Structure 1
Amino acid sequence: MDYNQVTPGLFEGSITELDLDGMQLIRDRANQAMVKSGQSWDGAVTFSLPLAVKEHDFHCDGRAINVQSVLAASGNQLPDLRTPAEVDLLCVAVEKSLLETMLAQQQRDLRLDLDVVAGCFQLANFSCREELATLIDSVMDGEGPTLLAHAAIRAGIRDTVLLHLLDLIDSEEVTPLSSTARKRIVDRACEFALSHRDNPPSIMDLCNHVGASRRKLQYCFQETLGVNPVAYLRILRLNAVHRALLQADATMTVQDVAANWGFWHLSRFAAEYRQLFGERPSDTLSRVRRHCADFG
């Protein structure tokens, strides 16, 4: 990437990069307006999304973009982009084959033909954008960097970012389903999740298994069980952590066990664990070790 400063003044900014399997995340913050050009790797699709910005006067290939949008482009044909001052920009590059496979598995009628021209998708789902911003904050600026050695966390971050991006650019409303059809989807999802108790699937796995978008799966769960599928899966993963702590050896720590099951926000994990099981995860581990010592 080449950066050229446009507005006068001392430059202050930062670039944070995270490489995942088949995905690259870049958080780009700058206090000055910039003109940016460059390219990603061949076979990638890139998405650029402002997480925070004071002004919306972006320019892409000579076009003014005055509304909050996601810019999608082919990795080897990135358009010139002029960004305003005081921008916090998230750039995501992902293997096109990974994206196309997921779209096919979830039966989404969404075409990203970006070989000739970049696509600009106006944001309709602002709550989803806020959820994505919170995720990036926790991963890049919080506890996340110390936990990225765990494959479950890397995969969880990648899948969550992908699902949020697709929800942002896919504005198609969920077609109302009959109660029978909704229950059939939920039953398939629950059966799949419960058959993998020792390796709880991600929300991406559930979506791919039942052939539905995250929005559609959430609609079916809420209407059928009155619970969010993410919350349902989190309970399964908390139970998996509980079982693992009950069987932990002397070398395991609570952070190791939690990270193995994809929990990267440790303080939130500890609070949810205590709410579900009535004790802190460290209490569970200490009790098990005392028991082992007594009968060792």
Structure 2
Amino acid sequence: MEYSPSEKGEPPLWTQIPQALCKRNETCLHLSCDFETYLRARPMNHNNMAINPASNQAAALPHLGRFQTCDIDEHGRNLSGWQVRYDQVTPGGFEGELTEFRSDWLQLVRDRSNQALVKSGMAWKGAIIFALPLSANGPAFCAGHTLQEPSLIVAHGENLPELSTPLQLDALGVAIEEGALAHALERQGSRFEITDLPRCYRLADPTVRTRFAALFDNLLNGEQACLQKLEYDSIRRGIRDAVMLQVLELVAPDEAPPLNPTARKRMVDRARDYALAHLDEPLSILDVCNHIGTSRRKLQYCFQETLGINPVAFLRTLRLNAARRELRESSRVELVQTVAARWGFWHLSRFSSDYRTLFGETPSQTLQRTHLC
């Protein structure tokens, strides 16, 4: 794949391999070469296997993996080193694809999903996360803030803000070990404070997303001989250095306010906590409003502003996701009625209908598929 130069005539991100790296190689490289040419310039190691882009999983190359799944929980588990939970909020079957490159202090992840989701959890210890959408069908919501423009979220991996994502999301995540990032910031004299997170930055340069997407396209569509060379530390270091340089250009001190939860988001969280703590009762918005001390109209406004969905639909969706997760994780075949009742659904036919609408299959089909695997 060929890269398009930026508007300023600069070479693409992935061509900017440091001169010091070129000097270490047996073949001197020009900074104008593209990523695939760069890989070809390295000697081959015939003992390594390359990724097969058509397969669901790529385990042949330890630094590169690709996973495709129709199960939302499996999609979350494919993210190595992370502990995340994805809840589906739009109806229909789920389709997800995850591509991951990992080398030393850097992890690059491209996460694609067709349904709107609520994402929560944490990354590996000591990681600083940079997350940006490559494309999406609608706005995202983070900590009660609506993200209309292309944005970059920066957060500690162990304290990720909850994120509500739109349909047809193609997103990039860059996880950098805090020590490596702090060292680079110090050496370059940057005033960006790692401690003052999370933050959200507006992406002023539209070519940034194109450049990041181009790397994954080259990794997945590259020839076997090129992909084998990811086993060389100098190749991986070139990728790490280029990503670090780009990330440092995206963040600037005092350019974005801290991404703290809004008052509306805190009210939404209280409503959700109450609903999930009273699973032995049918969902009652009246009880929720009485507990948090607000009117139904104000509660609905808060949910719409922070999540883009009304409270009844959202809280029911959370319970449906929890019931599905239990059906998928059960070590024995449980009665659907038992699981439904445990999550506050007293009418089995209504539960089954809502379940099928949301996930594209019946609870019994979920159970059957789980125990056939």
**What whole-Å deviation, never above 9, does each CA across 1:203-257 have from its counterpart, x for those lacking one?**
xxxxxxxxxxxxxxxxxxxxxxxxxxxxxxxxxxxxxxxxxxxxxxxxxxxxxxx
> Cα gap change, 1:141/1:52 in structure 2, threshold over 3 Å: closer, same or farther?
farther
Counterparts of 1:188-203 in structure 2 under 5 Å? none
Other-structure match for 2:204:
124
Give the AA of the match of 1:139: L
Q: Deviations over 1:42-91 (max 9, x none)?
A: 22101111122232x11112221111100010011011111111111111
The residue aligned with 2:87 is: 4
Is 1:86 the counterpart of 2:161? The answer is no
Separation in structure 1 between the aligned mates of residue 203 and residue 253 of structure 2, nearest angstrom: 8
Cα 1:172–1:142 shift into 2, 3 Å: farther
Match of residue 275 from structure 2: none
Distance verdict in 2 for CA 1:81–1:140, change over 3 Å: farther
Q: CA deviation at 1:151?
A: 0.8
Would you say 1:160 and 2:242 are equivalent positions? yes
Name the SS for the 1:38 alignment partner.
strand
| Equivalent of 1:22 in 99, 105, 121 | 105
- Indicate which of 128, 139, 147 corresponds to 2:219: 139
* Cα distance between partner residues in 1 of 2:227 and 2:144: 37
Paired-residue identity, %: 41
1:131–1:171 distance in 2 versus 1, CA, 3 Å: farther
The one of 139, 158, 167 equivalent to 1:76 is 158
- Aligned residue number for residue 54 of structure 1: 137
Cα RMSD after superposing both structures: 2.1
TM-score (norm 1): 0.53
Give CA deviations for 1:79-118 in whole Å, capped at 9, x if unaligned. Answer: 111111111111111111101111111222322324xx41
In structure 2, runs of 5+ residues without a counterpart are: 1-83, 256-373
Give how far 1:141 is off. Answer: 4.5
CA contact (8 A) 2:128 2:176 kept: yes
User: Relative contact order (C-alpha < 8 Å, sep 6+): which is higher?
Assistant: 2
CA contact (8 A) 2:113 2:167 kept: yes
**Which residue identity lines up with residue 247 of structure 2 in the other structure?**
L
Q: How does 1:1-296 map to 2 (within 5 A)?
A: 1-55=84-138, 57-114=139-196, 117-143=197-223, 145-170=227-252
Change (3 A) 1:80 1:172: closer
Q: Distance in 1 between matches of 2:254 and 2:234?
A: 30
**Runs of 4+ off more than 3 Å:** 140-146, 170-173
For structure 1, the 5+ residue unaligned runs are 174-296
CA–CA distance in 2 between the matches of 1:80 and 1:70?
Answer: 15
Mapped partners of 1:70, 1:142: distance in 2: 28
Change beyond 3 A, Cα 1:131–1:77: same
Distance 1:7 1:47 in 2: 26
Q: TM-score, structure 2 length as denominator?
A: 0.43
In 2, Cα distance between the equivalents of 1:137 and 1:170?
A: 28
Q: Aligned in 2, Cα 1:141/1:82: closer, same or farther, shift over 3 Å?
A: farther
Alignment partner of 1:18: what SS? strand
Shift of 1:170: 3.4
Secondary structure, in 3 states, of the residue corresponding to 2:231?
A: coil
Q: Which has the larger radius of gyration?
A: 2
- 2:359 corresponds in structure 1 to none
Deviation at 1:171, TM superposition (A): 8.6
- For the 8 Å contact 1:71–1:118, the answer to whether it is kept is yes
The one-character-per-residue Cα deviations of 1:120-161 (angstroms, maximum 9, x if unpaired) are 011112223322221232124434643321111111111111
Cα distance in 2 for residues equivalent to 1:46 and 1:141? 26
Structure 2: distance between partners of 1:42 and 1:75: 7
Contact 2:193 / 2:253 at 8 angstroms: preserved in 1?
Answer: no
Q: Evaluate the alpha carbon distance shift between residue 14 and residue 170 of structure 1 in structure 2; reply closer, same or farther with a 3 A threshold.
A: same
